[in-house]
Amino acid sequence: MATAERSLDAARTSQRNGYGSSSSGVIITPGLSDGTLSRPSKEHSTPRRTTQSERRESRIRALLAIAVMGLAFFTVGSQLIHLALQGQNDQRIAMSAPIATAFARPDIVDRNGRLLAGDIVMQSLIADPSVVLDVEEIVAKLAAVLPNLSADAIRDALSDRSKKFAWLRRGLSTAEAQQIHNLGLPGLDFRPELRRAYPLGRTAGHVLGFVDIDNKGLAGIEQFLDSSKYVEPVHGPSLSARPPLRLSLDVAVQFAVEEELADAMTRYKAKAATGIVMDAKSGKIVAAVSLPGRDPGIVDERFEKKRIDKLTAGTFELGSIFKTMTLAMALDAGTVEPDSIIDVRQQLEVDGYPIKDAHPAGRPLSVTEVFLKSSNVGAAMLALADGTDKQKAFLKRIGLTTQIATEAGPVAPPSLPSRWGDIETVTVAYGHGLAVSPLQFAAAGASLVNGGRKVRPTFLRDSAISANTDNPVGEQVLHPETSRTIRTLMRSNVESGFGTGTRAGVPGIRIGGKTGTAEIAGKGGYREKAVIASFFAAFPIDAPRYVTLVSLFEPTGTTETGGMITAGRNAAPATSRIVARIAPLLGFLPSEQPL
């Protein structure tokens, strides 16, 4: 009983406090099952504080680790940059030394599109001297492949082991490059480069000019490409995307003239020869030849004296072809008519110098006969009748006393008399005392036969006619009637049977022309047996489309020429063979009708 009461009192007391208690320290939460227990608050707060602290410490450790790793990367990166910068200068030198600026050039083609010059990719031999193991081995083995290679030059190129680059040979052929590659020599390598190729060799070589080792134009049409901004600097073998430069030359005509002139040199034992074929109205040059020729791709031929371009780079006294100019001057001034009579029976004496004919006629001659018989006395009298001032003015107007130029470069300036008095007037009248290039004479001669209009020689097919402040292209420099008379005289000189140009005739082609034989000046005077024999011609002579000028330098008398060295015996027949061969190529059948 007492025990029960005590239990009841305890229960009541618990109800008044709102909780039940236990001596074991377990708190019984009202509304929960007996099995649901909760630890005192002191025991619950300790684990929460421990977890937050650990998280903070973990974050700190992570940040420290990132900072350490970042510092490490920064240190390593800085060192790499330092090392790179330290070798930058050496690397720049090594990279820049072997890269030579070259020039990509467009093709050069003839009037019909046939290739005359073009770029190709070739291998050049290079070396890294710093890794070469045996210089003498390289010298010996390269000599077997490239016998013309200088052993001393190779040793010099490889002697400095501090260098990273050296040229050994530029422009190897495919076979040479392959042989060197097969040698397997350490330190050698190849670099592709642009090189200029001339597939026709010496054909038109003087006109084309040449380039240097880096493909830069130095002469001729090649230099014209550079000056006209047709080339592009490149680093590597990049071919030009520009269209070809089309010349006025015709390869077939050029080759025919070259071959016939070479035959004439052999036939008449001449030391050199020149020939030109020019459009009489436009001045476009169809063929331009100077022999001995020059291959633009052979360096050793570029400056050989015997290979100088005599057509444009030299001036010469051309002899009696100048009488064409003298008669044109007199006829144009109205001083004489073709049938006017000139008394040439006596030799002249001018300023103490005798003027005579090689074969005196012994009678007075008409102006036409002065031309056909090539009378020095007759030409001299015509020049004196007009006077020095008129002669100088005429020759200037026609284009023979001022320097001219073409796309291939400047033509040698005329060599004029230092004193131009009566005797000079006389000698110039028959082609002595005034020296011009054959090209310049041909251009002036075209004006005599084309109706009297001035032309400017050009090597471009599509060249536009431009103006010149002193002598406009196309300027009327001669009366058309005078031009017709000159054509008649030139035709008679070939066709009549009485002229000096009879051997220039071509069956089926009406051709006219004039001979000229000039002694070559030497020390102390003229060399009697050394001459330049020339023939100036036009065809078809009734309405000329083309003019030609053929010159043979120092021909020798042969059985064929009867031992003579005059132009009527060598330059005239050489012209006949040339015109007979090229006329069909230019569109003329023997019937003389253009195709």
N- to C-terminal Cα separation, the chain: 158
- Among 318, 518, 309, 307, smallest CA distance to 415 is for 318
Spell out the SS3 assignment of 540-594: CCCCCCEEEEEEEECCCCCCCCCCCCCHHHCHHHHHHHHHHHHCHHHCECCCCCE
Which of helix, strand or coil describes residue 417?
coil
212/224 Cα distance (integer angstroms): 14
Q: What letter does residue 243 receive in the DSSP assignment?
A: P
CA separation for the pair 283, 572 (Å, rounded): 23
Rounded Cα distance between 257 and 277, Å, is 9
Type and span of the H or E element at 486: helix 480-495
d(CA 445, CA 440): 9
Contact criterion met (CB below 8 Å) for 172 and 122: yes
d(CA 303, CA 268): 26
**DSSP 3-state assignment of 491?**
helix
Distance (Å, whole) CA 424 – CA 322: 13
The H-assigned helical ranges of 403-461 are: 422-429, 438-449
Structure tokens, 171: 């422009």
How far, in Å, CA of 15 to CA of 52, rounded? 40
Contact assessment for residue 337 and residue 369, using Cβ atoms and an 8 Å cutoff:
no
- On whether the CB atoms of residues 532 and 503 are closer than 8 A, the answer is no
Q: Please pick, among 240, 248, 282, 320, the residue that the annotation labels catalytic.
A: 320
Active site residue 320: yes
Cα dihedral: 432, 437, 438, 442 (round 10) = -100
Q: At what angle do helices 88-96 and 41-86 cross, to 10 degrees?
A: 40
Helix (H, G, I), strand (E, B) or coil at 507: coil
> To 10 degrees, the CA torsion angle through 437, 442, 445, 451?
-140
Q: Which token pair is 485? A: 């008379």
User: How far is CA 33 from each of CA 17, 21, 64, 209, 521, rounded to the nearest angstrom?
Assistant: 19, 15, 50, 116, 144
Dihedral in degrees, nearest 10, Cα atoms 168, 170, 176, 181: 50
Residues in the chain: 595
Please classify residue 473 by burial: count the beta carbons closer than 10 Å to its beta carbon, then call 0-12 exposed, 13-18 middle and 19+ buried.
middle
Q: Is the separation of the CB atoms in 306 and 272 below 8 Å?
A: yes
CA distance linking residue 190 with residue 121, whole number of Å: 12
Catalytic residues: 320
